[in-house]
Amino acid sequence: MAEPAAIDPGVGFEVLARDGAARRGRLSTAHGAINTPAFMAVGTAATVKGLTPEEIAASGTEILLGNTYHLMLRPGAERVARLGGLHAFMSWPGPILTDSGGYQVMSLADLREITEAGVTFKSHLDGARHELTPERAVEIQRLLDADITMVLDECTPFPADEMTVAESMRRSLRWAARCRKAFEPKPGTGIFGIVQGGMVPALRRESAAGLVEIGFDGYALGGLAVGEGQQVMYRTIEETVPALPEGRPRYLMGVGKPADMVGAVARGIDMFDCVLPTRSGRTGQAFTRRGALNLRNARHQEDPRALDPDCGCATCRGHPRAYLHHLFRAEEMLGPILLTRHNLYYYQELMAALRGAIEAGKLAEFIAAFEARQAAGDLEPI
Query: Minimal CA–CA distance to 34: which of 140, 148, 181?
Result: 148
pLDDT digits (tens, 9 = 90+) for 102-126: 888 777 766 789 999 999 988 889 9
Question: Which residue is catalytic, options 19, 99, 145, 147?
Answer: 99
Positive or negative: CA dihedral 59, 64, 70, 71:
positive
3-class SS at 297? Answer: coil
H or E, element range at 17:
strand 12-19
273 catalytic per annotation = yes
CA distance 307 to 234: 30
pLDDT digits (tens, 9 = 90+) for 35-59: 999 999 999 999 999 999 999 999 9
Confidence at residue 6, expressed as pLDDT on a 0 to 100 scale: 44
Contact 1, 10 (CB under 8 A): no
Q: Report how far apart, in Å, the C-alpha atoms of 261 and of each of 68, 149, 253, 280, 330 are.
A: 25, 22, 11, 17, 33
Query: Minimal CA–CA distance to 199: which of 177, 174, 222?
Result: 222
For residue 9, give the DSSP letter: T
Confidence at residue 226, expressed as pLDDT on a 0 to 100 scale: 92
Confidence at residue 2, expressed as pLDDT on a 0 to 100 scale: 47
Per-residue pLDDT of the chain (382 residues; tens, 9 = 90+): 545 544 455 899 999 999 999 999 999 999 999 999 999 999 999 999 999 999 999 999 999 999 999 999 999 999 999 999 999 999 999 999 999 988 887 777 667 899 999 999 888 899 899 999 999 999 999 999 999 999 999 998 899 999 999 999 999 999 999 999 999 999 999 999 999 999 999 999 999 999 999 999 999 999 999 999 999 999 999 999 999 999 999 999 999 999 999 999 999 999 999 999 999 999 999 999 999 999 999 999 999 999 999 999 999 999 999 999 999 999 999 999 999 999 999 999 999 999 999 999 999 999 999 999 999 988 654 3
Domains in the chain with CATH codes: 12-274 (3.20.20.105), 281-372 (no CATH)
Q: Which amino acid is at 139?
A: E
CA distance 360 to 232: 29
CA distance 305 to 357: 28
Confidence at residue 286, expressed as pLDDT on a 0 to 100 scale: 98
Question: Which residue is catalytic, options 19, 147, 273, 378?
Answer: 273
